[in-house]
């Protein structure tokens, strides 16, 4: 599984529409509206690098309103949420 975070600068008048269009695309698991230098952040999970490339360059960047993007490919995930879930499952039967 390939995970990427795509930082997007979007035409301000189209932020909600772009976010909704992206959220409907297969492979995009979340789209966040954020403050700061970027307008939207999309989290992508695809089976291969080729699928990631197709999604980003072939579909995402063709969405009207996206002005610039920066794609960050994740090497390793560190997630407190995943650890908490794992420990909670182990504790359910132990009472």
Domains in the chain: boundaries: 2-92
Can you name the CATH fold of 2-92?
Answer: Alpha-Beta Plaits (3.30.70)
C-alpha dist (Å) from residue 5 to 28, 31, 57, 88? 10, 10, 14, 28
Total-model pTM: 0.81
- What would the two tokens of residue 67 be? 């002005």
Alpha-carbon span 32 to 27, nearest angstrom: 15
Which pLDDT tens digits describe the chain residue by residue (95 residues)? 999 999 999 999 999 999 999 999 999 999 999 999 999 999 999 999 999 999 999 999 899 999 999 999 999 888 766 656 656 665 555 54
Alpha-carbon span 55 to 61, nearest angstrom: 9
């Amino acid at each position: 599984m390939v995970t990427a975070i795509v930082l997007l600068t979007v035409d301000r008048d189209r932020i909600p529409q772009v976010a909704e269009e992206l959220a409907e695309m297969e492979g995009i698991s979340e789209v966040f509206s954020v403050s700061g230098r970027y307008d939207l952040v999309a989290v992508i999970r695809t089976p291969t690098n080729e699928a990631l490339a197709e999604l980003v360059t072939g579909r995402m960047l063709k969405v009207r309103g996206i002005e610039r993007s920066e794609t960050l490919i994740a090497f390793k995930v560190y997630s407190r949420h995943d650890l908490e879930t794992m420990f909670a499952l182990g504790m359910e039967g132990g009472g």
